[in-house]
Amino acid sequence: MRTRKIKLMNLTSLARVSSLSTAFASRTLHRSITCRPISCSSVSHAPTSLKPKPPLFLRPLTFTATLSDLQKWQNWAKTLASSVGSSFTDLDNGPDSENLHRELNWLIEDALENPKSLLTLDDSKRDTVLQLRADLDELYSLWKQRIEKRKPFQYIVGCEHWRDLVLSVEEGVLIPRPETELIIDLVDDAIKQNQELKEGLWADLGTGSGAIAIGIGRILGDFGRVIATDLSPIAVQVASFNVNRYNLQDKISVKQGSWFDPLMEFEGRVAGIVSNPPYIPSGHIRGLQAEVGRHEPILALDGGEDGMSDLLHLCNGAALMLKPGGFFAFETNGEDQCLFLVDHMKTVHHNSFYNLKIIPDFAGIKRFVTGIRS
């Protein structure tokens, strides 16, 4: 399936307005270290009560509709998409009509057995019956939610294309972003420089859909494995679903719990820690694009007053959990957070890490902090 480029705000569009003054940041740093012990009790495996819905394109062709009814739906959906014009873009940099028309074509691709039939069958075939993965009422409802509720397209079709993966997503789980794809390349580079890391234990903390864990699982050697953690029970279910879909259940364990809690038995023995934690300052959540602010989980977005709370907790935990030579990579919302983290690592954990680097994303924004445990 080809990659879809969907207009969804990255989580850092506000990064450039968020400047961390040193005095303010060090107050928050103190709060972060003192209030958040690395270890506490609650860890559990994937709860069994929540069942993720398979993405639309994987559902069976259980439904039918005539060509004429489908064309009526398509015309209605196109009119709705056209009515948006540039109003969402003007409001909050949301999608315009052109983006929405493209998404409508993708929805048709995912929902129909033979999407080309909508274009190729002429009026004389209007009674032809076509097979569908959702019934027509659901298609009306889905498109209404896309336009009127600004529900992200990925939640409408239940999946996101990320690297060479197609990952199941649903409301309650962050839609993985393109900028995060680079973490897998950073891990790949680290492994090329130290082959031992390939056989070790890796941790993806705050795994969401399981994107990073799956990406790493696929590049590890025969003995390497990954523990993916998340506090959200929905994320744990969706990540487990995606791990199984890629047949990586023997390599990746998904555990529910806060950050390092599910890993405490591996203190000082972890080969690699990666995370894309919540890092948006609380005060910026209100200004997010409607698709993000209204629909994506606040647990995945809100990084506390200055966006740094979880990042600092992760840095402190990395000092404790990584083995000598172990690698970490954390995603941030931009340059200020990167600089702050590096400074924190050098001053609070001096001599604990070396090779500390700030790495830009594809757009040139300083995005990741990486380093190696001494």
Chain residues binding ligand SAM by CB under 6 A are 174, 176, 180, 206-209, 211-212, 229-232, 235, 258-259, 276-278, 299-300
Q: Work out how close the CB of 237 gets to ligand SAM at its nearest, in angstroms, rounded to a whole number.
A: 12
Nearer to ligand SAM, 45 or 125 (CB): 45
Q: Give min distance, CB of 353 to ligand SAM, in A.
A: 22
* Smaller CB separation from ligand SAM, 207 or 240: 207
**One-letter amino acid for residue 91 of the chain:** L
199 vs 305 by CB, closer to ligand SAM: 305
Considering beta carbons, is residue 46 or 174 the nearer one to ligand SAM? 174
3-state secondary structure of 290: helix
Provide Rg for the chain, Cα atoms: 22
**In angstroms, what is the minimal distance from the CB of 356 to ligand SAM?**
22
Q: What is the closest distance, in whole angstroms, from the C-beta atom of residue 259 to ligand SAM in the complex?
A: 4
Q: How far is the CB of 197 from ligand SAM (least distance, A)?
A: 20
Q: Which long-range contacts (CB under 8 A, 24 or more apart) does 114-118 make?
A: 117/67, 118/67, 118/70, 118/71, 118/74
d(CA 133, CA 70): 13
Please report how close the Cβ of residue 105 comes to ligand SAM at its closest, in angstroms: 25
Angle at 178 between CA 172 and CA 182, to 5 degrees: 115
Nearest 5°: phi and psi at 129?
-95, 130
SS3 of 373, please? strand
Contact in structure between 130 and 65 (CB atoms under 8 Å): yes
Min separation Cβ 182 and ligand SAM, Å? 11
Residues 210, 252 contacting (CB under 8 angstroms): yes
Query: Nearer Cβ to ligand SAM, position 112 or 254?
Result: 254
Cβ-based nearer residue to ligand SAM, 187 or 211: 211
Distance of closest approach, residue 16 Cβ to ligand SAM, in angstroms = 19
Local structure of 367: helix, strand or coil: strand
Q: Which residues contact 348 (CB under 8 A, 6 or more apart)?
A: 29, 33, 316
What does the alpha-carbon distance between residue 298 and residue 2 come to, in Å, rounded to a whole number? Answer: 30
Residue closer to ligand SAM (CB basis): 211 or 270: 211
Q: Which is nearer to ligand SAM, 77 or 263 (CB)?
A: 263
Torsion of CA 277, 281, 283, 289, to 10 degrees: -60
Q: Which is nearer to ligand SAM, 9 or 300 (CB)?
A: 300
Residue type, 329: A
What the block records as the tokens of 330 is: 């954390």
CB of 330 to ligand SAM, least distance (A): 11
Look-up of token digits 């336009």: 147
Is 249 within 8 Å of 282 (Cβ atoms)? no
The CA distance from 260 to 263, in Å, is 5
